[in-house]
Structure 1
Amino acid sequence: MSRRQGGLRRRAATVVALLAGLAAVVAPVAVADAATDPATAQVVEDTADDVPSPVPTLGLRSLSPAVAHPGDDLEIVVRVDNPTQAGLADATLEVAVAWQPIFSRSTLAAWVDGTTARPSQAQLEAPVDSVSPGAYRDFTLTLPVDELGLGARGPFRLAILLRDDGEVVAQLRTFLMWDPSPDDGAPVDDDETVRLSLLASLTGPPVDPADPLDTRRLAGVTAPGEPLARALAAVAEAETATGTRGALALAVDPALVATAAASGNAQISAWADRVTQVGDTTDVYPLPPYDPDLAALARSGLSVPALQAATTTPLPDGWTVPSTWGAPLAWPAGPAAPDLATLDAARATGFGTAVLTAGLSPTFGTATGLTTVPTEHGDVVALLADQPVSQALADATDVAPGSGSTLTTAEAVQRLLAETSVVSAQGAGAEPHLLAVLPRGWAPDVDALRTALEALSTSGWVRVDPLPALLSADEPTIERRPLDAATPQEGELHPDEVRRLDAARTSLDELATVAADPAELVAPLAPALAAPTSVAWRDALDARPAAVTAAVDVVNAARGSITVAAPDALLISAAGDLPVLVSNALSTDVTVTVVLRPDTPRLVVDATPTTVVPAHDQVRVNVPVRALGSGDVEVVVEVLTPAGTPAATPITLQLRVQAGWETAGTAAAAGVVGLLFVLGIWRTIRRGRSTRRTVDAAVADPVIHGDAGRS
């Protein structure tokens, strides 16, 4: 174990952005070097455009060493920020350290929350010269640790107060970490350490259902210095800081990587290549494609096949998960504990392991973050985040817009050390294996991450291990606070909207049967239906209903790609063919069946022909019919998929049937011919009665030649 010296760099100011597109840009603030003497501290004018706070504030810039040992001088660098309209004159800084260490995590939380009284006696006072309105100054305070008379190892309450005219106008609460053993770098005994695993996610911004392959938003978050690039860079930084391969595991939305890989943008596709290869250096677990909100799906009453369809969306461009990645993980959304219904839905869709950012906490003490949760569809292995440790690590490192961190890196590091120190002291041989889960959208400052992980690794009571070590750990036999059976969370997609998307998905699956390979139709359109259910859309609640409608419209447009046409007609024969024109605007050949449904038995349809309509083409289909009687017939023309469901919007045509016309016409023509024949004979007979002709007696009998003649 080695001492840590020097100050910590201040994290960069973050850009706070609203989803509506409005942003407030905070002007950079010049950082003053910590003075070695309070009297010579440099004054730096604050140029920020933020609205001034009504009172001064204190921020811990650094505390060194992070863990104090006998003989150390504690060096505290604190920033006095005066955003008021009046200057600070003749103010003082006081440092007060409690004499008794903290033994429980509840006491730690009470100190941080301000519900515990601060130490009554200050061990150090230092003057604060004038701090101008709108300015800040950094001051260095030095406190010999041996003068404090500290006892057992652990965190001690440390308060820094700013007094002006004798009144406390600002205070800062942190921890002095004390280890009475010499700082001799002796190896850590594995049986006396808290094991800690780290897990972060790579999930993207909301996907536009109307254009799921649009990568304009990805260009912003994958660029160097942006959230997804930072999170990926944190993998190597974590290994460097801890000396542990796979110190930071990743849970990745495979659809995000597939979309980036298919992009023509060199920057985005390069990022996708790095993610694809990161499985060579750390443990990577795929999330369900498009990171669906499992709680919303569970709340909608979908069948198991429907749930499976919603969590197995085909990936863009046929992308597949690399073989170096691990088994899929479910990660229910939200800061609150998921309910049993959500875990049951995850298990029903095939996810046997789930990450819980809250819930199932022990009724007493701290336990290894691993347990098994029985559900109706089977057991779920739950990876349980340690909330205080997770929050402190996020506070120490996260610079994402809207992260909400109110702690400096130095304050968060001391909180991390205090939490893990108390856990390590809860009982010999009972040190648990904790899990720190970073929030979705985590954008780490890699320098701050290195500072935090180095502090933990050199503390003497923490060892960072890869996530598989936690998955293979023994589950503690303890009592845990149960999960609720079914409790909706704020931000979930309404069940009616989920069912709308499911109905559209069913409609798409039915249409897809017209193709020789249904995946040719489903794969390009399914992402549109998955997009509005993603966790990312929880941050755009006002726009989400329109996203659902857009997704349904995408499927409806596909359903309108096959059309049918047939003109009104006149049938004058007893049998004939009714021509139907089927058009296909899809990019694949389709197999369809044409069905005629007359509204009266006087017309009989003799066949339902099936035909293949080439992509972007049309085919004339002749449907044979017979007429049993005359009259007007209304005929519904349908085009069906091979599964028997509609492939096109039906049309109705009017058919006029004159079933006897052909037979009656033939008889009339025969009658006319017969009449003409009779008239011809009659005329011939009349001509035969002329006086110029001889009578029979005067005509001699003819001579018949041949065997048939007679004389």
Structure 2
Amino acid sequence: MLAPVDPLLSEGEALEVEVLLRNPTRESLPPTRIEVLRTSAPIGTRYGLSRWFEGDGILASSVVATLDLPGVAALGRTSTTITVDADALGLDGASWGAYGLAASAPDMEGATSVVVRDEPGEASPTRLALAAPIDAGVDATGLLTAEELASLTEPGSDTDEALDAALDAGATIGVDPAIGASAEALGTDAPESAADWLELAETRDTYPLLYANADPIAQARAGAFPVEPLGIPVEDDEPLPGTAGEVGARMPVIDATGAIVQEAELGTLAGMGTVVLSTDNLAEALEGSTPSAHASVGGVDVLAADAEVQQRLQDATDANADTAAQGRAELVALLATITRERPSDQRTLAAVLPATTQGSPVAVLETLADAGFVETVSMDDALETPTREAVLAAIDDPERDAGAELVSAALAQEAEASRVATIVDEPASLLAGLRLTLLAALPDAGRAVTDADRAAIDGLGGELGQVRDAVQIVGGSDIRAVGESVPLPITIANGLTVPVQVVLSLRPLNALVSVPQPSTNISLAASTQQRVQVPIDVVGTGTVLMVAQLHTPDGVPLGQPQIMRVTAQPTIETAVAVALGIAIVLLIAFGIWRSVRKRRRGEAHGDADDISDRAARDQPVKESL
């Protein structure tokens, strides 16, 4: 790899270049001599520059430096930084623009990079309208602790430097509401740096991101936009409004640069904010010079981010330092080449920086600020330029619904967990916490859905399922119940940080015991266990299984039912009474049976006598003479 430490050169300035040699083989490489070359003239077209980025270094002809690298172990790497003085570089007095750099060595694949002679003279700078989203990177709670908030906002932190760089660039800044919400929830425990940072971030060009930088396009495609906080939980107090701590009043920027937008949804997205899509999404070919970003698609105003500029900007903020250095060099080279297309005509391009948790924008914004041929501006500046007519391209998008499916799955899981919210006196507190957990798990704006996003939604089911299982019956040993009316001990644990109201139901699986009151209302304090005594009547001797189950006040089951083994043994008096009762019942039954049996026999004899009597009456009587 070959990358300049600073891709911008002024008259008389030396060039520092980092050379990195990787050995991907399983055999060591011997010491190597490498030549660094440059092109004799600026690369004049975007096509030529793209070829150069792809590694076509055939135009490099002037050797400006030679260095010897030591041998490299198998699968190893070595790097060094060399300085090429201005005389050896030979660019003083040369035309301004992007010059190609190449590294070459015998029997090795070469590398290419670029450096820009930054002396544009009278050329009109290319304006680059930027959106700079700053997110909080919250965990599953959806809120930052006091320590995390201090680390995020203290002077000199990555987020603080990102805000300063974005303000200096005149960018349109997006702020994650989770930052302000965390400060509001902490109250007097919030660090002073948070209030200072939020005050600095509040400008006329600031807009609120969706909470936790959730993707608005995925929500719109799921028919759920906007999924917002139901409240901001506060320890030992009522939840704050869902908008607490929100910063910015500008209409949001909808980052569609990584999406394939269809015409049917474009109007909906435009109603949500300023839509920034990629020129790869448009059915147009680049002819002549690069156009400005402001476009009208089917009567809907959008900003079309140049696809190549957007990609180089993404690379320039990569977490890998080597990739970021190369990305910065390629970005300024591309912007220099665009400026040279029409030096007298000012154009306004647009792009969206990655969110700060995906990569720091500081270095690339500083590089752009130093470039004499670039002027960074806000999104509103781009919207004030004339529009051009454009048409969306018909592009197959197999992953179109990936984000929407995750949003729908998350909301379905939340709805299931919300059914148990009636166990608390103030369901809003529990529901507010559930919603923040959901928002933290949703896919982030500005990038494609990843396996990590899918895993987060799968994990969300476990997080929300814990609410259902947070209040449960604690299993115990077998119970011996001796007596007529016995209190059956059942222990219930409340794992929530708020008091709860639940209903305990108990039923036996045979008739050895009975439960006079099958359901019992129970109040449990926060984070405690409580033993409940449920009366049962013992009516027989033996083992009985009892089923205990918790429910919400409106009948939704909580946790799993518990099977309790109870050995029942009534007292002597109870046993005698039961035996006597059984004997009386048996005697009565026997008496009834005998009576019925005798009656049936009596009725049979009576029928025979009746027949004899009728026969005698029917016999003719002889008259005497």
TM-score scaled by structure 2? 0.63
- Tell me the equivalent position of 1:59: 4
Give distance in 2, aligned partners of 1:340 and 1:605: 65
Is the 2:490–2:534 contact (alpha carbons within 8 Å) kept by the matching residues of 1? yes
The change in CA–CA distance for 1:596 and 1:95 in structure 2 (over 3 A counts) is closer
**Shift of residue 140, structure 1, vs aligned partner:** 0.2
**2:581 is equivalent to residue 640 of structure 1:** no
**Shift of residue 435, structure 1, vs aligned partner:** 1.4
Q: Which of 247, 250, 273 is the aligned partner of 2:195?
A: 273
The change in CA–CA distance for 1:285 and 1:389 in structure 2 (over 3 A counts) is same
Q: Which of 150, 156, 172 is the aligned partner of 1:249?
A: 172
**2:335 is equivalent to residue 416 of structure 1:** yes
**2:40 is equivalent to residue 96 of structure 1:** yes
1:482-540 deviation line (CA, Å, top 9, x unaligned): 45444269xx8997x8887556533431222222221222334554454444549x999
- Tell me the equivalent position of 1:139: 85
Question: AA paired with 2:205?
Answer: D
Give distance in 2, aligned partners of 1:279 and 1:523: 26
1:657-711 deviation line (CA, Å, top 9, x unaligned): 999968966998xxxxxxxxxxxxxxxxxxxxxxxxxxxxxxxxxxxxxxxxxxx
Is the 1:286–1:328 contact (alpha carbons within 8 Å) kept by the matching residues of 2? yes
Kindly report which structure 2 residues correspond to 1:45-444, keeping only aligned pairs within 5 A, or say none: 59=4, 61=6, 75=12, 77-79=14-16, 96-97=40-41, 101-102=44-45, 105-115=46-56, 118=59, 136-141=82-87, 145=93, 158-159=99-100, 173-174=114-115, 195-205=127-137, 207=139, 209=140, 213=144, 225-238=156-169, 247-259=170-182, 269-281=191-203, 283-292=205-214, 304=223, 312=229, 314-315=231-232, 317=234, 318=240, 320-322=244-246, 324-328=248-252, 331=255, 336-338=258-260, 351=272, 355-356=276-277, 359-365=280-286, 366-369=290-293, 383-392=303-312, 398=317, 400-402=319-321, 404-407=323-326, 412-422=331-341, 433-440=348-355, 441-444=358-361
- Tell me the equivalent position of 1:8: none
Question: AA paired with 1:438?
Answer: L
**Shift of residue 233, structure 1, vs aligned partner:** 1.9
1:293-321 deviation line (CA, Å, top 9, x unaligned): 6788899xxx756x865x64754644713
SS in 2 for 1:586: coil
Give distance in 2, aligned partners of 1:76 and 1:577: 91
- Tell me the equivalent position of 2:75: none
The change in CA–CA distance for 1:410 and 1:525 in structure 2 (over 3 A counts) is closer
The change in CA–CA distance for 1:127 and 1:174 in structure 2 (over 3 A counts) is closer
Give distance in 2, aligned partners of 1:83 and 1:609: 73
Q: Which of 403, 414, 430 is the aligned partner of 1:521?
A: 430
RMSD after superposition: 6.0
Give distance in 2, aligned partners of 1:626 and 1:83: 84
1:599-654 deviation line (CA, Å, top 9, x unaligned): 79998988856554444464858799999x99998764443223431235333567
Q: Give 1 or 2: higher helix fraction.
A: 2
The change in CA–CA distance for 1:262 and 1:399 in structure 2 (over 3 A counts) is farther
1:412-468 deviation line (CA, Å, top 9, x unaligned): 43432322453777xx7xx7642122223332446x634523535xx4xx6543223
Question: AA paired with 2:501?
Answer: T
Give distance in 2, aligned partners of 1:586 and 1:572: 37
**Shift of residue 558, structure 1, vs aligned partner:** 3.7
Is the 1:504–1:552 contact (alpha carbons within 8 Å) kept by the matching residues of 2? yes
Is the 1:579–1:620 contact (alpha carbons within 8 Å) kept by the matching residues of 2? yes
Give distance in 1, aligned partners of 2:255 and 2:7: 35
SS in 1 for 2:40: strand
**2:433 is equivalent to residue 509 of structure 1:** no
Q: Which of 364, 368, 371 is the aligned partner of 1:455?
A: 371
1:95-153 deviation line (CA, Å, top 9, x unaligned): 6126x954xx444433443558638xx8xx787688797662321045575xx7x8xxx
Is the 1:373–1:382 contact (alpha carbons within 8 Å) kept by the matching residues of 2? yes
Is the 1:111–1:157 contact (alpha carbons within 8 Å) kept by the matching residues of 2? no
The change in CA–CA distance for 1:565 and 1:316 in structure 2 (over 3 A counts) is closer
Is the 1:62–1:76 contact (alpha carbons within 8 Å) kept by the matching residues of 2? no
Is the 1:609–1:623 contact (alpha carbons within 8 Å) kept by the matching residues of 2? no
**Shift of residue 252, structure 1, vs aligned partner:** 2.6
Is the 1:372–1:380 contact (alpha carbons within 8 Å) kept by the matching residues of 2? yes
**Shift of residue 283, structure 1, vs aligned partner:** 2.3
Is the 2:5–2:17 contact (alpha carbons within 8 Å) kept by the matching residues of 1? no
**Shift of residue 234, structure 1, vs aligned partner:** 0.8
* Number of equivalent positions: 542
The change in CA–CA distance for 1:524 and 1:454 in structure 2 (over 3 A counts) is same
Give distance in 1, aligned partners of 2:576 and 2:276: 77
Question: AA paired with 1:284?
Answer: T
- Tell me the equivalent position of 2:501: 591
Is the 2:44–2:337 contact (alpha carbons within 8 Å) kept by the matching residues of 1? no
The change in CA–CA distance for 1:287 and 1:323 in structure 2 (over 3 A counts) is closer
Question: AA paired with 2:59?
Answer: R
Is the 1:328–1:351 contact (alpha carbons within 8 Å) kept by the matching residues of 2? yes
Give distance in 2, aligned partners of 1:355 and 1:210: 31
The change in CA–CA distance for 1:157 and 1:521 in structure 2 (over 3 A counts) is closer
**Shift of residue 388, structure 1, vs aligned partner:** 3.0
**2:411 is equivalent to residue 480 of structure 1:** no
SS in 1 for 2:282: coil
The change in CA–CA distance for 1:308 and 1:129 in structure 2 (over 3 A counts) is closer
Is the 1:572–1:661 contact (alpha carbons within 8 Å) kept by the matching residues of 2? no
What's the % identity of the aligned pairs? 23
The change in CA–CA distance for 1:237 and 1:308 in structure 2 (over 3 A counts) is closer
The change in CA–CA distance for 1:169 and 1:618 in structure 2 (over 3 A counts) is closer
Question: AA paired with 2:368?
Answer: A
Question: AA paired with 2:135?
Answer: T
1:374-403 deviation line (CA, Å, top 9, x unaligned): 9xxxx998654333334555666x484457
**Shift of residue 541, structure 1, vs aligned partner:** 7.9
The change in CA–CA distance for 1:80 and 1:604 in structure 2 (over 3 A counts) is closer
1:50-100 deviation line (CA, Å, top 9, x unaligned): xxx7xxx573756555xxxxxxxx5463346677876979x89666126x9
Moved more, 221-230 or 125-134: 125-134
**Shift of residue 231, structure 1, vs aligned partner:** 0.8
Q: Which of 532, 555, 561 is the aligned partner of 1:650?
A: 561
SS in 1 for 2:350: strand
The change in CA–CA distance for 1:476 and 1:260 in structure 2 (over 3 A counts) is same
Is the 2:204–2:248 contact (alpha carbons within 8 Å) kept by the matching residues of 1? no
SS in 2 for 1:587: coil
**Shift of residue 597, structure 1, vs aligned partner:** 6.0
Give distance in 2, aligned partners of 1:412 and 1:354: 23
Structure 1 spans left out of the alignment, 5+ residues:
1-52, 66-73, 239-246, 669-711
Question: AA paired with 1:198?
Answer: L
- Tell me the equivalent position of 1:682: none
- Tell me the equivalent position of 1:14: none
**Shift of residue 404, structure 1, vs aligned partner:** 1.4
1:564-602 deviation line (CA, Å, top 9, x unaligned): 5897879979xx999977664533333334445677999
